[in-house]
Amino acid sequence: MGKLDGKTAIVTGASRGIGQAIAELFAAEGANVVCAARTINDGDHMLEGSLANTVRLITEAGGSAHAVAANVSVEQDCRQLVDEAIAVFGQVDILVNNAALNYYVPIVDYDVNKWMRCFAVNVHAPFMLSKFVLPGMIERQSGAIINISSGAAIGPGRGPYDTEGRGGTMYGATKAALERFTQGLAQEVKDDNIAVTCFSPSQVVPTPGTVHHKLVSGMDDPKGEPPLIMAQAALLFASEDPVKVNGRVTYSQEILQEFGWISDGKGRGIDSQGSGYSLI
């Protein structure tokens, strides 16, 4: 028995990195996974990864997955994503808002259209998708909405500053907004048995994107946090009692340690009942 047997999950940004890891682990735990992103096929984007590849890995391992090409910054695409998930699998039990966009540019040089686009992907999309999945969750009195944040939400604190900024002001602002959105929505649905949560990596996660931005030295950077750790934390929030986790804004390794889900660093996790699971 998987932790998510019979559940349907939407995972945005599932073509690579953290989103791909979450999609694969959710499928391994029995969920029907609707994988959403803009990159449909390998070679469609400068970064490695695609929806086709994620779905192929899941189905070859015996899991259930469906790809939906979606630009989550657009309301109609968000509506169609939720509608298609319901049409294919009947309902949406879990929403993972993982898709994110960033440009490392100082504010004085930031293009206004890029700023607006980042807020649309990082903040407006989680709002729209949450709005569209919530009616079914409220009706069933069951559901989980999981938002992926970043340590950048904390910011550099008050001055004086002895280090230079890296052009991450916009990204940090969107993630701070996402964390506030999480707890506000969690309060709104506190009586509906729905968990709205948000968590950040405890360390930078090596992904095609973080490698591209030179945040890590490579996909095997020993200082990085494996994507599986993020996937395990998402699984915890998707499967634990909503009363215990609703409104939590935290970090991946902290929540895993708190609930007794311990990674052994070899692509496996041990939950508090001692059962094992592995990434596909």
CB 197 within 8 A of CB 186: yes
Catalytic residue among 7, 50, 175, 200: 175
Q: Is 223 a catalytic residue?
A: no
Running DSSP on this structure, what letter comes out for residue 122?
Answer: I
Tell me the C-alpha distance between 108 and 89, whole Å: 46
- Phi, psi of 107, deg, nearest 5: -55, -40
Look at residue 229 and give its three-state secondary structure: helix
Alpha helices (runs of H) in the chain, residue ranges in sequence order: 17-28, 51-60, 75-89, 112-119, 125-140, 169-188, 208-212, 227-239, 242-245, 252-258
From the list 11, 3, 5, 49, the residue with the least C-alpha distance to 235 is 3
Q: Is 171 a catalytic residue?
A: yes
Catalytic residue among 15, 50, 130, 149: 149
Catalytic residue among 171, 202, 252, 263: 171
Torsion angle of alpha carbons 80, 85, 87, 89, nearest 10°?
180
Q: Is 104 a catalytic residue?
A: no
Catalytic site positions? 149, 171, 175
